[in-house]
Structure 1
Amino acid sequence: MAISKSQQFFESLWYRKTVWWLWLLWPLQLLLRILVFLRRTFYRIDLFKSTKLNVPVIVIGNITVGGTGKTPLAIYLIELLKSQGYKPGLISRGYGGKSEHYPLTVTESISAAESGDEPFLIRRRTQVPVVVDPIRARGAKELEDQGCNIIICDDGLQHYALQRDIEIVVIDGHRKLGNGLLMPLGPLREPQSRLKRADYIVVNGKDMVLEPDTIQAINGHDKQIQEPFTAVAAIGNPERFYRTLEGLGYQFDSQSFPDHYEFSEQDFESFQGNIVMTEKDAVKCLSFADERFYFLPVSAKLSKQFIQSLMEQIKAITHES
């Protein structure tokens, strides 16, 4: 199943000059703006309950619909914290996962279909405790009980039921904030003013660079990729993946699927030649990937200034507690 035409259509409108008829949806944007304001206010005045943990919580999120690069940043932060002697863990909603039992600790016996692709990938890359739970406060408490002394909350910016010590907002450097309007007029989940309350704003492509590694076979064989191939992406912003491949000089066709799409072997029966995927998509194909399937791993790189500022803030929070 290809990415839906309606999704493509609205995204094409959100990331260009707004057409006049979109303003017919203005009452829905106004309603969302009111709901966002009330919800945040109710948490601030303790009308809605929020949970404070005994260990620092770092939230990574965005204010736009779609992918911005949160997963590579989460992996980067986990490795950074490990190198500084911390015992980090990650809590995720596990979007797309099909487990019926929460909190779910991601282990070697858990599949990407159960946990969701992003938690599975993060656990596979970092080997730190990863817990999936739609109730993030409960899942974060599970990580605390497992001995984690700092917790990263993936895509939890709007999840105010879990109190946070540090907020990091990721923005796609190419698409930015689109037309700057709230859904459904634009791609924003919250007003732009929300950025003022974040501790850090990381622009993917400027403050954070995603460095591609060598294309690798999903099933581990050592044959080099042959061109032309089909690039397949089921992520929030597939064009970023295609631009990366173009920048590396590859010749390919492209095929996009909905974000977090659950692949099956049948999805690729009509494909000719080799297939290259994102690493996030590749983990969903481990059970059936043959010699045609490859993936492109990427790693986030951030400035020394960001690292120094973040670590100083973490140490200050740890000292206070």
Structure 2
Amino acid sequence: MRAPGFWSDRPGVLSTLLSPLGAIYGAATARRVARPGTRVDVPVICVGNLTAGGTGKTPTVMALVERLIARGVTPHIVSRGYGGSQEGPLRVDPARHGAADVGDEPLLLSAFAPTWVARDRLAGAQAAISDGARAIVLDDGFQNPALVKDLSIVVVDAGAGFGNGRVIPSGPLREPVRVGLARADLTLSIGNPQQQAHLTLPEPPPRIRGHLAPLATGMPWKDLPVFAFAGIGRPEKFFDTLRDLGVDLKGTEALADHQPLTPALLHRLGDRAARLSAQPVTTEKDAVRLPASLRGRVMTVPVRLQLDDWGPLDAALDRIGL
């Protein structure tokens, strides 16, 4: 879905009219998260958010599993597999599974650590533990009560914040900010220094700051004519990354988050790039949804999470025995 424009504005007439439905949605979330979860035999780390749409959870999961591996821990990732047809528990195998089977994010994450898709998060965690996991990294699932979480990290896009501050469908929130942050152990805000300075968090848990930086690949991006497309939560962030790299950005197309790359859409995107005499470029997450025949013709810009200070996260990992 594409987020309604009024979600990012100050509450207006339409948002106010929808606020009773937002109250119902928030109450339903509160009832759901109050259910008792099951504790499993290894620590569970949840990377989640309070809003619908992208905040940087996937790069956070990548950075977290790399940190755990560096500490000698064997993590497995458990995801709902949004956009995929498989209910699981199923361990993602890029040689056999595509984004239509398991979702784009699990397919991308499977390059970093063993990744499972499971509508039933408890069943997914148990399967991972049977397969050798010594820690579970729960991709999303902050509002899912199936598992007892030993460490919950709420990721916030410092540029977007919490939008108009209201709950779906009146705004972008899955639950009220104060209610959600009360269950979190850490808040990770992702953005540039100016965005970080303007983000206000009401009575937050300890806050860590970070930003997304392009992975050094040796590619000479400067002045390269580029046509960029992206189907992520906030495509403009990707386009800004390309501008920062110095490309000659001839055109952009913002797609809906997880939007299927149908043959008709790909033909249109390819035709537009050709008319602009520009190299088509997309995100890592979008690239896994491309057919194999196009992956060599569409370039990607990998981004990785950089933290200003790893100390609070390392201390939290120490506390839960990792």
2:114 paired residue number: 129
Is residue 239 of structure 1 aligned with residue 236 of structure 2?
yes
Q: Does the CA contact (< 8 Å) of 1:225 and 1:274 recur in 2?
A: no
Match of 1:219 in 2: none
Q: Are residue 197 (structure 1) and residue 183 (structure 2) matched?
A: yes
2:31 to 31, 34, 38: 38
Provide closer, same or farther for how the CA distance between residues 20 and 311 of structure 1 changes in structure 2, counting only shifts above 3 A. same
Offset of residue 225 of structure 1: 8.8
Q: Which of 122, 127, 150 pairs up with 2:135?
A: 150
Tell me the distance in 1 between the aligned counterparts of 2:291 and 2:16: 45
Is the CA contact 2:155–2:190 (under 8 Å) kept in the aligned structure 1?
A: yes
- Cα separation, 2, equivalents of 1:120 and 1:70: 15
Letter of the 2:23 partner, please give it: L
Q: Is the 2:287–2:295 Cα contact (8 Å) retained in structure 1? A: no
Quote how far apart the aligned CAs of 1:18 are: 1.9
> Which runs of structure 2 are paired with 1:284-299 in the superposition (5 Å)?
284-289=289-294, 291-299=296-304
Shift of residue 280 of structure 1?
0.6
Q: 1:26-69 CA distances to partner (integer Å, 9 max, x unpaired)?
A: 2201211222222233x1xx4xxx22101000000000011000
User: 1:146 Cα shift?
Assistant: 0.8
Listed as ranges, the gaps of 5+ residues in structure 1 are: 217-221
Residue 58 (str. 1) matches residue 69 (str. 2):
no
SS in 1 for 2:110: helix
Secondary structure in 2 aligned to 1:187?
coil
Name the residue aligned to 2:201.
Answer: none
Aligned position for 2:287: 282
- 1:77 aligned residue (57, 64, 88): 64
Are the aligned partners of 2:239 and 2:252 in contact in 1 as well (CA < 8 Å)? yes
Structure 1 residue identity aligned to 2:279: N
Question: What does 1:110-125 align with in structure 2 at a 5 Å threshold?
Answer: 110-124=97-111
Code of the aligned partner of 1:261: Q
Structure 1 residues 19 and 290: alpha-carbon distance in aligned structure 2, compared to 1, 3 A threshold: same
The residue aligned with 2:18 is: 25
User: 204, 210, 230: which is aligned to 1:208?
Assistant: 210
Q: 1: CA distance between counterparts of 2:99 and 2:30? A: 35
Cα deviation, 1:151-170, whole Å, max 9, x if unaligned, reads 10001101111110000000
How far apart are the structure 1 equivalents of 2:319 and 2:189? 25
Distance 1:299 1:289, change over 3 A: same
Give the conservation status (yes or no) of the 8 Å contact 1:265–1:288: no
- TM, length-normalised to structure 2: 0.86
Residue 314 of structure 1 aligns with which residue? Answer: 317
Cα 1:223–1:196 shift into 2, 3 Å: closer
Deviates more, 1:22-31 or 1:62-71: 22-31
Q: Which residue identity does 2:13 align to in structure 1? A: W
Q: Which letter maps to 1:250?
A: V
Q: Distance in 2 between matches of 1:98 and 1:201?
A: 32
* Residue 291 of structure 1: how far off its partner (Å): 5.0
Percent identical pairs in the alignment equals 35
CA RMSD in angstroms, aligned pairs only: 2.1
Contact 1:215 1:295 in 2 (8 A): no
How big is each residue's C-alpha offset from its partner over 1:4-24, in whole Å with a ceiling of 9 and x where there is no partner?
7xx35x2x2111122223211
User: Distance in 2 between the 1:223 and 1:212 partners?
Assistant: 13
Contact 2:151–2:320 at 8 Å: present in 1 too? no
- Aligned residue for 1:284, secondary structure, equals coil
Change (3 A) 1:104 1:113: same
Corresponding letter in the other structure for 1:79: E
Instruction: After the TM superposition, list the runs of 4 or more consecutive aligned residues in structure 1 that deviate by more than 6 angstroms.
Output: 222-226
Residues 170-197 of structure 1, C-alpha deviations (whole Å, 9 max, x = no match): 0001110011111111110010111122
- 2:78 aligned counterpart, secondary structure: strand
Q: Cα distance 1:24–1:247, how it changes in 2: closer, same or farther (>3 A)?
A: same
Aligned residues: 296
User: 1:82-112 CA distances to partner (integer Å, 9 max, x unpaired)?
Assistant: 0110001100011011225x11101232222
